[in-house]
């Protein structure tokens, strides 16, 4: 079997066998198949898609490309939460410690940014010293000791996805349902979680632009989870505008810290509580939604979630001074509030444009090897439906380069649209999908 034959078969719209998928994934993981052939294969999959059977076989091949964690010896029941990616999505930074503070073990392998979508690992690495490269042994030891892990993908767990994840980001193949499904679910299978809540984004700032595509993705992942013996719930949520106010790595960490102290934007707070409630119900910590929401709110108010966050940061090598005093976190040299050009109701805020602006400022990657500037980003000051007054700050840019700041200002102004008449607010969630 040759890699070029597998590429050609998918290029021509053929259905790959399980053996062909296994051959290609193992070959790429082990270095026998180079990036340029993997890139061609990714594009062929992007164009022609995959059947349910192919997607299932791809997910298994990626999950089994490395070690499969068995967590039963350290935690009898573990949960996980995953977002398909959005702009300003820092939910894991709040929900994971909140759930752990409720006595539910949560072990999460999380990713870096893809395209305009920020990554949890990039955000956490804003904290000096924070290690997101835990080994399997370290992962299990920390989960046993404190009940929470937020780490990047190690070389031992789902290494095929780690390699393909970076390649997808720079080959314009991110928005492919089979590739997204296999990426997410292979990590979840490899990480050994018993129950998973999937936050499936839809809208301008999501990889799934339409509700129909988001539903297709959610249903595919729930089916795969059921086949793997996992309890899976998917929540389809809105990403037509950024979640919360902050977009950018250190800025989002600050907003998450504020939320853990019961501050921050209302939409971010509500989103976190809904996701947390689903996880608590899957873990049998609450019998219904109302009880789960009450437990989540009480745990947040008690400060237990904040202390669990500090415990996790310390366990993974982070300097606690930077979260106890968030003003120590990386901050940009240039901070410019930009006034609203007119009065009116905010009719639209293109989340993708906000996300790409942050990438252009240096807060994301345009190439696989790019480094991240954790200090740059954007603070938006209004949500769709809000009444805006002319000359009040519409958004604030955090930049380290004058030319990039000027370009960001123009791009962000164009991303905001206004109406003279009231505008309906956008829903946070559209649908719940469960097996």
pLDDT tens-digit profile of 71-127? 999 999 999 999 988 999 999 999 999 999 999 999 988 767 666 667 899 999 999
| Residue 155: band (very low, low, confident or very high) from pLDDT cuts 50, 70, 90 | low
The answer to whether residues 254 and 352 belong to one domain is no
The answer to whether residues 240 and 375 belong to one domain is no
Strand order in the sheet with 148-151: 148-151, 105-109, 78-83, 195-202, 231-238, 429-434
HSE on the CB side for 266, CA within 13 Å?
5
pTM of the model: 0.89
Does residue 365 lie within any of the structural domains? yes
The answer to whether residues 33 and 87 belong to one domain is no
CB contact at 8 A, 163 and 170: no
The answer to whether residues 229 and 130 belong to one domain is yes
Q: How many domains does the chain have?
A: 3
Q: Supply the pLDDT for residue 117.
A: 67
Read off the CATH number of the domain in which 231 is found: 3.40.1030.10
Q: Supply the pLDDT for residue 158.
A: 82
CB contact at 8 A, 160 and 29: yes
CB contact at 8 A, 262 and 300: yes
- Three-state secondary structure call for residue 425: coil
| Final residue before a domain boundary, out of 279, 309, 325 | 325
The answer to whether residues 334 and 321 belong to one domain is no
Asked if the model's pLDDT at residue 366 lies above 80, the reply is: no
Torsion on CA atoms 21, 22, 26, 28, rounded to nearest 10: 0
Asked if the model's pLDDT at residue 27 lies above 90, the reply is: yes
Does residue 180 lie within any of the structural domains? yes
The answer to whether residues 345 and 287 belong to one domain is no
The answer to whether residues 155 and 268 belong to one domain is yes
- Three-state secondary structure call for residue 386: coil
| Final residue before a domain boundary, out of 294, 325, 356 | 325
The answer to whether residues 146 and 168 belong to one domain is yes
Asked if the model's pLDDT at residue 395 lies above 70, the reply is: yes
Catalytic site residues? 82, 161, 168, 183, 187
Read off the CATH number of the domain in which 398 is found: 3.90.1170.30
Does residue 434 lie within any of the structural domains? no
Does residue 427 lie within any of the structural domains? no
The answer to whether residues 341 and 321 belong to one domain is no
Asked if the model's pLDDT at residue 368 lies above 60, the reply is: no
Does residue 410 lie within any of the structural domains? yes
Pick the closest to residue 310 from 152, 6, 117, 100 (CA basis).
Answer: 100
Does residue 428 lie within any of the structural domains? no
Q: By residue range, what is the domain housing residue 360?
A: 330-419
Q: What pairing do the DSSP bridges indicate for beta strands 195-202 and 148-151?
A: unpaired
The answer to whether residues 382 and 277 belong to one domain is no
Asked if the model's pLDDT at residue 69 lies above 90, the reply is: no
Separation of alpha carbons 287 and 278, rounded Å: 11
pLDDT tens-digit profile of 192-234? 889 999 999 999 998 889 999 999 999 999 998 888 888 999 9
Percent above pLDDT 70 for the chain = 97
The answer to whether residues 404 and 373 belong to one domain is yes
Asked if the model's pLDDT at residue 270 lies above 60, the reply is: yes
Out of 119-128, 151-160, 403-412, least confident range: 151-160
The answer to whether residues 320 and 208 belong to one domain is yes
Does residue 431 lie within any of the structural domains? no
Q: Supply the pLDDT for residue 162.
A: 83
| Final residue before a domain boundary, out of 275, 309, 325 | 325
Does residue 41 lie within any of the structural domains? yes
């Amino acid at each position: 079997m040759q890699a070029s034959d597998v590429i050609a078969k998918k290029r021509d719209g053929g259905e790959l066998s399980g053996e062909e998928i296994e051959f290609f994934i193992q070959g790429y993981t082990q270095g026998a198949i180079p990036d340029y052939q993997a890139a061609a294969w990714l594009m062929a999959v992007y164009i022609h898609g995959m059947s349910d059977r192919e997607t299932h076989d791809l997910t298994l091949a990626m999950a089994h490309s490395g070690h499969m964690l068995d967590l039963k010896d350290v935690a009898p029941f573990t949960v996980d939460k995953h977002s398909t990616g959005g702009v300003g999505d820092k939910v894991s930074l709040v929900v994971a410690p909140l759930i752990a503070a409720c006595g539910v073990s949560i072990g999460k392998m999380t990713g870096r940014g893809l395209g305009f979508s920020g990554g949890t690992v990039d955000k956490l690495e804003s904290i000096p010293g924070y290690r997101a490269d835990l080994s399997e042994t370290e992962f299990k030891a920390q989960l046993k000791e404190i009940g929470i892990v937020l780490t990047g993908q190690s070389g031992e767990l789902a290494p095929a996805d780690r390699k393909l994840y970076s390649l997808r980001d720079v080959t314009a193949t991110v928005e492919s349902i089979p590739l997204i499904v296999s990426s997410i679910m292979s990590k979840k299978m490899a990480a050994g979680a018993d129950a998973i809540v999937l936050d499936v984004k839809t809208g301008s700032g999501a990889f799934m632009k339409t509700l129909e595509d988001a539903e297709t993705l959610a249903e595919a992942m729930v089916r795969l989870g059921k086949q793997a013996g996992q309890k899976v719930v998917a929540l389809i949520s809105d990403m037509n505008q950024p979640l919360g106010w902050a977009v950018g790595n250190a800025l989002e960490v600050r907003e998450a810290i504020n939320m853990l102290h019961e501050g921050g934007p209302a939409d971010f707070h509500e989103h976190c509580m809904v996701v947390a409630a689903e996880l608590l119900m899957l873990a049998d910590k609450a019998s219904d939604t109302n009880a789960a929401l009450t437990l989540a709110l009480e745990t947040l108010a008690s400060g237990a979630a904040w202390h669990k966050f500090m415990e996790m940061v310390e366990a993974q090598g982070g300097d606690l001074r930077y979260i106890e005093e968030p003003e120590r976190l990386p901050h940009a040299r240039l901070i410019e509030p930009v006034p609203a050009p007119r009065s009116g109701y905010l009719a639209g805020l293109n989340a993708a444009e906000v996300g790409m602006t942050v990438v252009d400022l240096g807060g994301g990657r345009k190439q696989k090897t790019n480094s991240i500037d954790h200090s740059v980003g954007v603070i938006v000051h209004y949500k769709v439906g809000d009444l805006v007054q002319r000359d009040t700050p519409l958004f604030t840019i955090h930049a380290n380069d004058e030319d990039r700041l000027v370009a960001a200002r123009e791009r962000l102004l164009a991303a905001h649209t206004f109406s003279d008449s009231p505008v309906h607010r956008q829903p946070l969630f559209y649908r719940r999908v469960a097996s």
